[in-house]
């Protein structure tokens, strides 16, 4: 029976990850969507900058890498970027065609962004994209075209004073391109730019590779990998769900880092996080409700749109907000001629992902995308809290790396004892005490807890229980552990 369950679990994981791999990437989806827009939304949130809180940063303890898409630049949202809370800003994007030519992003050159970044000590990275598998194969394997692409990249970096390049090639043709050609491409790029070792060369990689990617090989020839740990649920999904589940029964950000990237040095991993969510209509008010997958030819899809963080706060915050204990992410629901659901990330769920990056000693975290928070302050304050404030960083660096239920102390005890436990990730914790017949005697904890170490006291009042053996059990995120203790009068 256990073998059957294990096999079924592997099959389910394979199906889920396969659906991820065939989904159109979020970067491509948004890029194509905004290209098709008749006009850009140039409305900028009204802000009196005299009253915007000025956040000041000292040295960041880890890399904070943010993509700035051309549509956010065109709409003016780059004016709200706080450069002193970034180490890298990636200009998205310079599109590569099959012959190695590059198309500049809308409004290029972005001299205002480059000047602001450099004046704050922020490195400016050019993002080079292609989303066509056949074109990518040609770019990676044809020596002449590959060299032409490298030269075009070099010319832009030299003339614009940029500090590196991030390769965002998605929808690669086959396993050979993912496992071998991509690694060879980065090896050739590293060699081509050896004249300036200060240039940073990086690659944007998926959260799961289905054993078809050589992430370790890519990392060997890159300064770092930007792991796109988002878009787990989206327009293509059959159910509602989180864009970036920290935890989960099958697939999650945590499993991605622990399993998919186990052979990559942590110092070469940037953990990408979403500043966006997804909006669905559905017939159910329950999490992970069934929906009709997105189809560009259909006009009645239950998936509605991508919602940026600033839009969630301005347009949906008046509705019922809930917390999903499976994924450790928030979601919103309301009834208006049927149920509506918005799944997104906020400062609480993002902090938990930042905790993971700190616990794993990763190179840093990455944002998709800058501008999506508009003129909001809380996500910048979170970066300040986790990567600037020395007290917060030192404490978080010492967070547990696993879930542990310790033996109570003292044991035996009378009339009180202390039960200690630690959490490597946040979750809804239930800590209960039972007698030898399995009857529940009391609930000591029944609430959401952030990662950390905790103590809980159990006191026997007025001789209410006889001497004997008792059991205490903890449950959190599917983890369950029971220990024995002895009451001795």
How many domains are contained in the chain? 2
Distances (CA, A) of 346 to 75, 356, 407: 23, 16, 35
Each residue's pLDDT tens digit in the chain (489 positions)? 455 445 444 545 555 555 555 555 888 888 888 887 644 444 444 444 443 444 444 479 999 999 999 999 999 999 999 999 999 999 999 999 999 999 999 999 999 999 999 999 999 999 999 999 999 999 999 999 999 999 999 999 999 999 999 999 999 999 999 999 999 999 999 999 987 888 999 999 999 998 899 999 999 999 999 999 999 999 989 999 999 999 987 899 999 999 999 999 999 999 999 999 999 999 999 999 999 888 777 777 899 999 999 999 999 989 999 988 889 899 999 999 899 999 999 999 999 999 999 989 999 999 999 999 999 999 999 999 999 854 433 333 445 667 888 888 788 888 888 888 888 888 889 999 999 999 999 999 988 887 877 888 888 877 789 999 999 999 998 889 999 999 988
Q: What pLDDT score does 232 carry? A: 95
Q: What pLDDT score does 75 carry? A: 95
Does one domain contain both 216 and 362? yes
Cα(442)–Cα(458) distance, rounded to whole angstroms? 9
Cα(280)–Cα(237) distance, rounded to whole angstroms? 10
Does one domain contain both 19 and 155? yes
Nearest to 64 by CA among 347, 283, 383, 338: 383
Tokens 């993509």 identify what position?
Answer: 67
Q: What pLDDT score does 88 carry? A: 97
Domain boundary among 358, 381, 397: 397
Give the torsion through C-alpha atoms of 21, 242, 255, 348, to 10 deg: 150
Q: What pLDDT score does 17 carry? A: 57
Cα(235)–Cα(302) distance, rounded to whole angstroms? 9
Range of the domain at 232: 2-44+54-276+346-397
**263: three-class secondary structure by DSSP:** coil
Q: What pLDDT score does 418 carry? A: 84
Helix runs in 120-181, H state only: 133-141, 143-160, 175-176
Domain boundary among 397, 413, 434: 397
Look at residue 354 and tell me if it is in a domain.
Answer: yes
Does one domain contain both 126 and 70? yes
Give the sheet arrangement for strand 479-487, strand by strand: 440-449, 427-434, 468-476, 479-487
Cis peptide before 140 (omega within 30 of 0): no
Q: What pLDDT score does 5 carry? A: 47
What values do phi and psi take at 13, rounded to 5? -60, -45
**CATH number of the domain to which 84 belongs:** 3.20.20.80
Look at residue 294 and tell me if it is in a domain.
Answer: no
**129: three-class secondary structure by DSSP:** strand
Q: What pLDDT score does 204 carry? A: 98
The CA angle 208-210-215, to the nearest 5 degrees, is 60
Pair type for strands 364-368 and 63-69? parallel
Q: What pLDDT score does 48 carry? A: 43
């Amino acid at each position: 029976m256990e073998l059957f369950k294990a096999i079924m679990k592997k099959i389910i994981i394979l199906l889920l990850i396969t659906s991820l791999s065939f989904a159109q990437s979020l970067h491509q989806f948004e890029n194509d969507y905004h290209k098709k827009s008749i006009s850009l939304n140039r409305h900028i949130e009204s802000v009196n900058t005299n009253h915007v809180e000025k956040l000041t940063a000292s040295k960041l303890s880890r890399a904070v890498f943010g993509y700035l898409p051309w549509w956010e630049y065109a709409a003016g949202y780059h004016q709200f970027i706080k450069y002193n809370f970034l180490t890298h800003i990636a200009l998205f994007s310079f599109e590569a065609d099959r012959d190695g030519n590059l198309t500049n992003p809308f409004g290029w050159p972005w001299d205002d962004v480059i000047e602001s970044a450099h004046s704050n000590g922020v490195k400016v990275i050019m993002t080079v994209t292609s989303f066509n598998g056949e074109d990518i194969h040609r770019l990676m394997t044809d020596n002449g075209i590959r060299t032409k692409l490298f030269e075009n990249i070099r010319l832009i970096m030299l003339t614009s004073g940029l500090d590196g390049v991030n390769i965002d090639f998605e929808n690669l043709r086959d396993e050979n391109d993912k496992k071998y050609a991509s690694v060879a491409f980065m090896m050739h790029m590293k060699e081509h730019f050896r004249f300036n070792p200060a240039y940073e060369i990086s690659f944007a990689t998926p959260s799961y590779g289905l054993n078809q990617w050589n992430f370790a090989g890519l990392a060997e020839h890159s300064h770092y990998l930007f792991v796109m740990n988002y878009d787990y649920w989206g327009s293509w999904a059959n159910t509602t769900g989180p864009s970036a589940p920290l935890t989960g029964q099958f697939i999650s950000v945590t499993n991605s880092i622990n399993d998919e990237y186990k052979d990559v040095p942590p110092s070469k991993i940037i953990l990408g996080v979403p500043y966006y969510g997804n909006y669905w209509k559905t017939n159910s008010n329950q999490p992970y409700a069934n929906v009709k997958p997105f189809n560009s030819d259909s006009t009645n899809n239950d998936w509605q749109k991508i919602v940026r963080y600033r839009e969630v706060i301005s347009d949906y915050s008046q509705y019922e907000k809930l917390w999903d204990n499976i994924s450790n992410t928030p979601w919103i629901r309301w009834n208006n001629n049927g149920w509506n659901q918005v799944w997104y990330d906020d400062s609480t769920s993002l902090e938990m992902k930042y905790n993971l990056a700190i616990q794993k000693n990763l190179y840093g975290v990455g944002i998709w995308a800058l501008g999506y928070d508009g003129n909001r302050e809380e996500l910048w304050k979170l970066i300040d809290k986790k990567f600037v404030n020395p007290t917060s960083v030192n404490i978080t660096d010492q967070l547990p790396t696993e879930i542990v239920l310790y033996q109570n102390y003292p044991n035996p005890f009378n009339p009180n004892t202390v039960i200690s436990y630690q959490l490597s990730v946040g979750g809804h914790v239930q800590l209960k005490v039972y007698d030898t017949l399995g009857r529940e005697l009391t609930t000591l904890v029944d609430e959401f807890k952030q990662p950390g170490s905790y103590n809980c006291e159990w006191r026997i009042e007025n001789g209410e229980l006889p001497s004997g053996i008792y059991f205490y059990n903890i449950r959190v995120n599917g983890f369950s552990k029971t220990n024995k203790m002895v009451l001795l009068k």
